[in-house]
Amino acid sequence: MNRREFIQKSLLTLALGQGAPSLLSKTALAAQSKDKILVVVNLFGGNDQLNTLVPYRNELYYRLRPNIAIKREEVLELGANGQRLGLHPELRPLMQMWNNGELALVPQVGYPNPNRSHFISTS
């Protein structure tokens, strides 16, 4: 399995709740609750944020990524709330949750005084 397949299968597992490990299974069962649930997915070294949450209206994205940019016509548009961003087409199972207001996407999360170390930043 290559990195791309791993990411796709992991996100689909989260989205569909099938075949999830026990921790994720418990999270899925908790989703029946009326309380809000925060699920954080941390992919070490595998996720390309710009090709997951795609800035498809930004010409610089296409100019700097001529071979790996997601084609505009394939991007799943998130509408006015998407702030000019869209999802990778393989993340279609997440769109119903987005449309129902059950999903929030928070790109480029950081913290005060970052040091550019991936190791320290994720610990």
Range name among 14-23, 36-45, 61-70 with the lowest pLDDT average: 14-23
Per-residue pLDDT, 39: 74
Question: Is the model's pLDDT at 82 over the cut of 70?
Answer: no
Mean pLDDT taken over the chain: 75
Buried b (16+ CB within 10 A) or exposed e, 57-81: eeeebeeeeeeebbeeeebbebeee
Q: How confident is the model at residue 23 (pLDDT cuts 50, 70, 90)?
A: very low
Q: Is the pTM of this model over 0.75?
A: no
Question: Is the model's pLDDT at 81 over the cut of 80?
Answer: no
Per-residue pLDDT, 80: 63
DSSP string, 28-64: HHHTTSSS--------TTT--HHHHEE-TT-HHHHHH
